[in-house]
Amino acid sequence: MLLRYFYDEKLSHASYLVGCQATGEAMVIDPARNIEPYLDVADREGLRIVAAAETHIHADFVSGARELADRVGATLYLSDEGDEHWKYQYLDTVFHRLVKDGDTIQIGNIRLEVMHTPGHTPEHISLVLYDLPTTDKPIGIFTGDFVFVGDVGRPDLLEEAAGIKGTAVPGARQMFRSLQRFRELPDHVQVWPAHGAGSACGKALGAVPSSTVGYERLTNWALMIDDEETFVKELLADQPEPPKYFKHMKRINKEGPALLRELQALPRLYPAKEIIDRLLHEGAQIVDTRPAEKFAAAHLKGSINIPLGKSFTNWSGWLIDYDRPLYVIAGRESIDEVRAALFSIGIDNVEGYIDPGFANPFRDARLALDHYASVEPSQVKDRLGEYFVLDVRNKSERKAGHIDGAQHIMLGYLPDRLNEVPKNRPILVHCELGGRSAIAASILKAHGYEHVYNLAGGYARFKAETHAP
């Protein structure tokens, strides 16, 4: 047997390729939309990808299952649990087999046993792996968003992100019962989850890529609670804000994502003033992917800044409108990475890109450029009353300590709550360390706020230097 682990840091998403070297067959578990890494590994190992399986209809990334079916003819193994709201709608376009609790999937000498594990979602399944030539005992379990290292999947996403009311508490109760089945697995069984630290699919995910049933029984908070009512209360408490794009992912993955071969090539645009003005007038979005300090020094009026980095995909999903055309500012060396990150969460409406050369020292005076400033805590600590202080951190960070009088609007909700931010006062915006507030500053500037200042080092530095609570 061969097992390979793939991890997308921008999405905190783990996927797996498992292959039978005796027969040369392989399958992918919870594949990402970019299937090239799986094809490369299979080719190097002399394997054919004949199947792909999903543990559930994902809400945080676009699945690559349909892409694998199209490119290599893989048979898709998909859950047939859940009611009519949790059924795939593109099955007439792919080879597939719907599976339920107790069904088995055979790939060469490898057997996967389906275990229905609802809680995170009603249709969720886990896959128990057997390496039959070696032993008839299970070797591991692909848990998807059921059990993570140190945590379990949140059951409130359907209610919080998808707007399906009354599902959080029943989902938590389902999770409690699913965990009772998990406890019955042997201690040695390895646990291979679909997410690691940084994912919004739970609240305390560990950074270790895998675990065992025995270790999780000893250390995972969710497996230490035996009372159902206490478990439900703890599971639903203090979950992070669910990204807005999750509701789009559920729809895209249920209906079937567009195939990448169907998407158009990306043209490069010259940033002439009349072109930029026309795009903005027509309702287009312009996202500048340069580092925050470069954007702050000079950027196109009307653009927002989401720096290309580990958090780029998450904040793109929060802040980009899926229904409006999108143009990105990125160099030729990074545009493929930018586009792949956007595709991974279903942002396919990228119409073109603009080279950041407009911000060079010999700037075209005809371009409408803007800027904003950063200020040190020492510069503002005795003058806070002069500013409208805007805190864009998460609610849990705010709860742990904040600047007195600051208005709290979590970054992802800022575009929807601009009416709460006055335009007749200078705005001092901060987060915990300064990165998210830079994005917030760009949103304010794009919406016509003139006097915007980013607090350098964020609340952490402000607290350390001023001894704030």
Q: Is the pLDDT of residue 414 over 80?
A: yes
pLDDT band at 161 (very low <50, low <70, confident <90, very high): low
Query: What confidence score (pLDDT) does residue 241 get?
Result: 87
Q: Is the pLDDT of residue 362 over 70?
A: no
* CATH hierarchy code of domain 373-466: 3.40.250.10
Fold matches, 2-255 and 373-466: no
Mean pLDDT of 314-327: 95
- The radius of gyration computed from the CA coordinates of the chain, to the nearest angstrom, equals 24
Which tokens belong to 384?
A: 């806070």
Q: SS3 of 408, please?
A: strand
Mean pLDDT of 22-28: 97
Q: Counting Cβ atoms within 10 Å, is residue 258 exposed (0-12), middle (13-18) or buried (19+)?
A: middle
How many alpha carbons lie under 13 Å from residue 70 in its C-beta half-sphere?
17
* CATH hierarchy code of domain 2-255: 3.60.15.10
DSSP one-letter code for 243 = P
Query: What confidence score (pLDDT) does residue 441 get?
Result: 98
pLDDT band at 82 (very low <50, low <70, confident <90, very high): confident
- Identity of residue 437: S
What's the pLDDT tens digit per position in 33-53? 999 999 999 999 999 999 999
What's the pLDDT tens digit per position in 248-304? 998 999 999 999 999 888 888 888 788 888 898 899 999 999 999 999 999 999 999
Higher pLDDT, 335 or 362: 335
Query: What confidence score (pLDDT) does residue 324 get?
Result: 93
Query: What confidence score (pLDDT) does residue 162 get?
Result: 64
- Tell whether the torsion through CA atoms of 199, 202, 207 and 208 is positive or negative: negative
pTM here?
Answer: 0.92
Mean pLDDT of 98-109: 98
Residue 193 CB neighbours (<10 A): 31
Mean pLDDT of 138-151: 97
Selected from 3.10.150.10, 3.40.250.10, 3.40.50.2000, 3.20.20.10, the CATH number assigned to the domain covering 263-370 reads 3.40.250.10
Mean pLDDT of 420-429: 97
pLDDT band at 469 (very low <50, low <70, confident <90, very high): low
**In this structure, what are the phi and psi dihedrals at residue 163, rounded to the nearest 5 degrees?**
75, 20
Mean pLDDT of 15-40: 97
- Find where tokens 């999937």 sit: 105
Determine the distance from the C-alpha atom of residue 258 to the mean position of all C-alpha atoms in its chain, rounded to a whole number: 19
Contacts of 55 (CB under 8 A, 6+ apart): 29, 30, 79, 124, 125, 126, 127, 142, 143, 144, 145, 146, 194
Query: What confidence score (pLDDT) does residue 167 get?
Result: 87
Mean pLDDT of 363-381: 88
Mean pLDDT of 439-444: 98
Query: What confidence score (pLDDT) does residue 205 get?
Result: 84
Averaged pLDDT score across all residues of the chain: 94
Share of the chain above pLDDT 70, in %: 98
Query: What confidence score (pLDDT) does residue 133 get?
Result: 86
Report helix, strand and coil shares of the chain as percent, to nearest 5.
35, 25, 45
What's the pLDDT tens digit per position in 211-243? 999 999 999 999 999 999 999 999 999 888 888
Mean pLDDT of 455-462: 96
Domain ranges in the chain are 2-255, 263-370, 373-466
